[in-house]
């Protein structure tokens, strides 16, 4: 097998890259370890930045999102017994966010690729990538117990945090930086109508909680927990009790309960690898960086990376020019570091860290007070939340 770009991983990064390359007339093959049904049903992110929404629409994969997703023009910060709305649209000159689940984006992209005759191999595991410093790297993979290989001009490592591509950058040429937080998020999916028209980020003495949504029927709720906690220790009744306690039934508002369909704990982590490229290998999305979910940036960063990569590859295949490819890592890292800064700041603003003393906790409240009373400070939050302009 031969193709121009071999893509490892059919997450948002790999599928969007394949789609963008197709629009540029560049052939690609996507290799995905999991089944189509699995990637189309794994619950993950759900907040799309304005730039991601615009890109999906501009490239012809936004129709269902526009119909079924929910545009949110603001978010709420709840602390110290009150709720303060941040007017995203008003503070950013009309930019907003879209609530549309990651697995729905995946479904739309898979359908678009397959309809256009795109090649996605499901349930095949890329086991080895060779020759990335030469001109024809080769990906070896296993398909139904058969070893196969694909020669390509470039390899895109879109295989997530635990993938095989990042370690291909030699240790001496790679710098990894990370911060692990002393807390995780307990997330549930509940079958219930939305409790709130817009997201609620709650800072509470018991710890952080977030009211989000996935559809008019399915709600996504989180609360800060010990990352090593065992989810089986949490009965449904105890989960609701904790959420009620942290969200408080303020000003007539009440959290709507419903049957819990799914629950799980994710650890919060910040991770970066520098550079994001080596020879003809280019990393994108979670393979290169992880942000704590507080800023809702993970999926959006993956999309921003592959937009940069698709343009660089298009320039290369059109004229042989490699300037954009050479600048790929620097371009993406600039955006990723800003997303790291914002995600960490949002985390510190809203979470309870047991290592903090009373003084630090009071400062956290002072920061929230300032943020919600200053237009300049609210604007800084809003412009980061809806997403900085894509390069």
Residues near ligand FAD, by CB under 6 A: 8-14, 31-34, 39, 44-47, 102, 125-126, 158-160, 163-164, 266, 285-286, 293, 296-299, 302
Rounded CA-CA distance 16/123 in Å is 19
CB 127 → ligand FAD: shortest distance, Å? 7
CB 163 → ligand FAD: shortest distance, Å? 4
Token duo for residue 350? 């809203």
Give the nearer residue to ligand FAD in terms of CB position, either 40 or 356: 40
Instruction: Taking each helix axis as running N to C, give the angle between helix 298-319 and helix 50-58, from 0 to 180 degrees, rounded to the nearest 10.
Output: 40
Give the nearer residue to ligand FAD in terms of CB position, either 107 or 361: 107
The helix (H) or strand (E) run that includes residue 58 is helix 50-58
CB 357 → ligand FAD: shortest distance, Å? 30
Rounded CA-CA distance 124/143 in Å is 5
Place of tokens 């070893």: 147
CB 177 → ligand FAD: shortest distance, Å? 17
CB 201 → ligand FAD: shortest distance, Å? 12
Give the nearer residue to ligand FAD in terms of CB position, either 80 or 231: 231
Give the nearer residue to ligand FAD in terms of CB position, either 141 or 321: 141
Give the nearer residue to ligand FAD in terms of CB position, either 144 or 319: 144
The alpha carbon of 204 is separated from its chain's Cα centroid by a whole number of angstroms, namely 25
CB 11 → ligand FAD: shortest distance, Å? 2
Q: What are the start-end ranges of the E strands in the chain? A: 2-8, 28-31, 47-48, 70-72, 74-79, 82-87, 97-99, 119-121, 124-130, 138-143, 146-157, 175-191, 200-202, 209-213, 218-225, 260-274, 277-278, 281-283, 289-290
Cβ–Cβ under 8 Å, residues 8 and 14: yes
Q: Say how many Å lie between the first and final Cα of the chain, rounded.
A: 34
CB 254 → ligand FAD: shortest distance, Å? 24
Nearest to 337 by CA among 373, 371, 386, 295: 295
Rounded CA-CA distance 214/103 in Å is 10
Give the nearer residue to ligand FAD in terms of CB position, either 348 or 372: 348
Rounded CA-CA distance 165/287 in Å is 8
Give the nearer residue to ligand FAD in terms of CB position, either 273 or 293: 293
Give the nearer residue to ligand FAD in terms of CB position, either 95 or 220: 220
CB 105 → ligand FAD: shortest distance, Å? 10
């Amino acid at each position: 097998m031969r193709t121009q770009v071999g893509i490892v991983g059919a997450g948002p990064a790999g599928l969007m890259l394949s789609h963008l390359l197709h629009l540029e007339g560049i052939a690609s093959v996507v290799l995905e370890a999991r089944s189509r049904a699995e990637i189309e049903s794994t619950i993950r992110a759900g907040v799309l930045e304005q730039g991601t929404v615009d890109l999906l629409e501009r490239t012809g994969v936004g129709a269902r999102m526009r119909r079924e997703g929910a545009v949110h023009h603001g978010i709420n910060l709840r602390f110290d017994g009150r709720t303060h709305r941040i007017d995203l649209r008003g503070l950013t000159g009309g930019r907003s966010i879209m609530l549309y689940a990651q697995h729905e984006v995946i479904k739309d992209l898979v359908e678009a690729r397959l309809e256009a005759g795109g090649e996605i191999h499901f349930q095949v595991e890329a086991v080895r990538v060779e020759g990335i410093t030469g001109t024809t790297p080769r990906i070896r993979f296993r398909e139904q117990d058969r070893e196969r290989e694909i020669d390509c001009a470039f390899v895109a490592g879109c295989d997530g945090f635990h993938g095989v591509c990042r370690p291909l950058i030699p240790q001496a040429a790679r710098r990894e930086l990370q911060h692990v937080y002393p807390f995780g998020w307990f997330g549930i999916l509940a079958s219930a109508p939305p409790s709130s028209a817009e997201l609620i980020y709650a800072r509470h003495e018991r710890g952080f909680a977030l009211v989000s949504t996935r559809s008019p029927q399915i709600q996504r709720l989180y609360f800060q927990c010990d990352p090593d906690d065992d989810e089986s220790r949490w009965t449904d009744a105890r989960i609701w009790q904790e959420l009620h306690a942290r969200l408080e039934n303020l000003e007539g508002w009440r959290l709507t309960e419903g049957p819990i369909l799914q629950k799980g704990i994710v650890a919060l982590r910040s991770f970066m690898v520098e550079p994001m490229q080596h020879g003809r290998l280019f990393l994108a999305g979670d393979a290169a960086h992880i942000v704590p979910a507080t800023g809702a940036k993970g999926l959006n960063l993956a999309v921003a990376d592959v937009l940069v990569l698709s343009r660089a590859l298009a320039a290369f295949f059109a004229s042989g020019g490699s300037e954009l490819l050479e600048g790929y890592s620097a371009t993406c890292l600039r955006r990723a570091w800003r997303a790291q800064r914002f995600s960490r700041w949002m985390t510190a603003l809203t979470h309870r860290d047991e290592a903090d003393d009373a003084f630090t906790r009071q400062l956290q409240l002072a920061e929230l007070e300032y943020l919600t009373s200053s237009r300049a400070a609210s604007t800084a939050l809003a412009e980061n939340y809806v997403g900085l302009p894509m390069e």
